[in-house]
Amino acid sequence: MRFFRLLKILSVGIRFGLDELILQFETSGKLLKVSRALFFWRRLTDPPAVRLRRALETLGPIFVKFGQMLSTRRDLLSPDFADELARLQDRVPPFDPDLAIAEVERALGGSIATLYRSFEREPVASASVAQVHFAVLPDGTPAAVKVLRPGIAKVIDHDLALLEAAGALLHAVWPEARRLKPREVVEEFRKALTDELDLMREASNCSQLRRNFLHSDMLAVPEVFWDHCASSVMTMQRMVGLPVSHVEALRAQGVDIPQLARVGVEIFFTQVFRDGFFHADMHPGNIFVSNTGQYIALDFGIMGTLTDVDKNYLAQNFLAFFQRDYKQVAQAHIDAGWAPADTRVDEFEASIRAVCEPIFDKPLREISFGRVLLRLFQTSRRFNVEIQPQLVLLQKTLLNIEGLGRQLDPDLDLWKTAKPYLERWMREQLGLEGLLRNIAQEASAWSKSLPELPRLIHHALVRQERTPWAEELARLAEAQRNLRRVINFTAACVVVIAVLELWRVFG
């Protein structure tokens, strides 16, 4: 079967001239002449990017998803290819409802009649990996049930094996492909698809995001009904709203559209800088709006996570960029450990300035955050900076948010909306608030270490044969002095905070 699938892939590639797309980079040009002689009957009138998109659509849903993922890698692809692949739509006919019901019964271990008060046979949404049916739980709660396509894991393994073989072949015979890292890109795609195939993982993502926004009036996230979940079935609260792209219908409901656009930006930066956990597939099909103007998030298969180092890098870069402090942008890369330690800051700064300064010829409201990040990624590559996968995912999400925000309000100024949030986060992390919070977090460790100090001194004395007593005792004495300073400073901070609180309450 794999052989016949390979034959189909080759025939589709030849039909759309993908061989010419690859062979044009062969230095001698002989193979390209041979290809054109063999397939003289072809009439290739479309641009190469369009031919690639049409070939992926012909090959089916897994290749469509691969093209969608490639479209986010604007650090690797030229703009014409990235823009064309972004047009790919995951349109897949639904599978037989009887198969969906059978999978639910198998996964949850009961009949559909006992698991749900009612279960609608016709799906309300269908994609390459799963489809969704409306249902009602036994207690009368409206629900939505997501069911994996039967046999989808085998189909994915099958097509991924062919993609991996193609990636290895490209890497071996096409020098330009090595810059595009085809094997790494396919491996990234495999990981993303593997995560999407585990609906328990998606349910946990949904649950975490709901907990993060549980008391928010900006974003609603469905509740997960864990007793009706398995690796191939996910049951969640049914959400009611209109797709965010239905602007006129939302306006007719009285929703403030410019305010909706600003809230969307705030939701994104809250996820990134407060939680370090963000919805990474926020295209219009996954975002609804309630009749009160509250966003509704759906589909949690692709989520991004950021460390404190990542968040600090992003905040410093955004703030420094819009202040035109390119030296700080360069230094942030080096401090994060992503640029080699011996990188010359002045050279890195000059390269960033050359790429980014022309952007400021535009009004701030026309500047794209996503493209700012992209330009930084492209410049960084010249200095052997390894762009982190989580930042590529964030850059793709940021482009989605910008597109969505400006679709709602063409005059949306993202910088004006985001700057106060970024500055507040930096104050919380690097100012007095951050210092006091870190002291509070470390207090428990200090309380544990203090009683151990005599034992540590004893161990130091035992090691006297390797370190002279005087040197070791001097080091311990300095450590004690430093600890005493920290304790005194902490006590002073506590007193100041107490005085300020008393003043607030009684003053």
Q: Residue 280 in contact with residue 394, Cβ under 8 Å? A: yes
- Angle at the Cα of 414 from the Cα atoms of 70 and 241, rounded to 5 degrees: 75
Q: Report the alpha-carbon distance of residue 51 to residue 46 in Å, rounded.
A: 6
Q: Report the alpha-carbon distance of residue 395 to residue 387 in Å, rounded.
A: 11
Strand-pair partners of 305: 277
Instruction: Classify residue 469 as exposed, middle or buried by CB count within 10 Å of its CB (0-12, 13-18, 19+).
Output: exposed
Read off the amino acid at residue 330: A
Query: Which two structure tokens, joined as six digits, stand for 1?
Result: 């079967």
Q: Report the alpha-carbon distance of residue 505 to residue 498 in Å, rounded.
A: 11
The 3-state secondary structure of 430-464 reads HCHHHHHHHHHHHHHHHHHHHHHHHHHHHHHHHHH
Which of 65, 407, 57, 410 shows the shortest CA–CA distance to 243? 407
Q: Report the alpha-carbon distance of residue 391 to residue 268 in Å, rounded.
A: 14
Q: Report the alpha-carbon distance of residue 34 to residue 40 in Å, rounded.
A: 10
Which of 434, 442, 340, 422 shows the shortest CA–CA distance to 381? 340
Q: Residue 62 in contact with residue 92, Cβ under 8 Å? A: no
Q: Which of 19, 75, 281, 299 is catalytic?
A: 281
Q: Residue 115 in contact with residue 105, Cβ under 8 Å? A: yes
Q: Residue 419 in contact with residue 322, Cβ under 8 Å? A: yes
Query: Which two structure tokens, joined as six digits, stand for 304?
Result: 């991004």
Read off the amino acid at residue 407: Q
CA distances from residue 189 to 70, 163, 165, 459 in whole angstroms, order as listed: 9, 10, 14, 52
Pairing state of beta strands 242-243 and 233-237?
unpaired
- Angle at the Cα of 356 from the Cα atoms of 353 and 361, rounded to 5 degrees: 115
Q: Report the alpha-carbon distance of residue 372 to residue 332 in Å, rounded.
A: 15
Q: Report the alpha-carbon distance of residue 425 to residue 434 in Å, rounded.
A: 10
Q: How many CA atoms lie within 13 A of 308 on its CB side?
A: 5
Q: Residue 225 in contact with residue 237, Cβ under 8 Å? A: yes
Query: Which two structure tokens, joined as six digits, stand for 194?
Result: 């593997």
Q: Is 281 a catalytic residue?
A: yes
As annotated, the active-site residues are 281
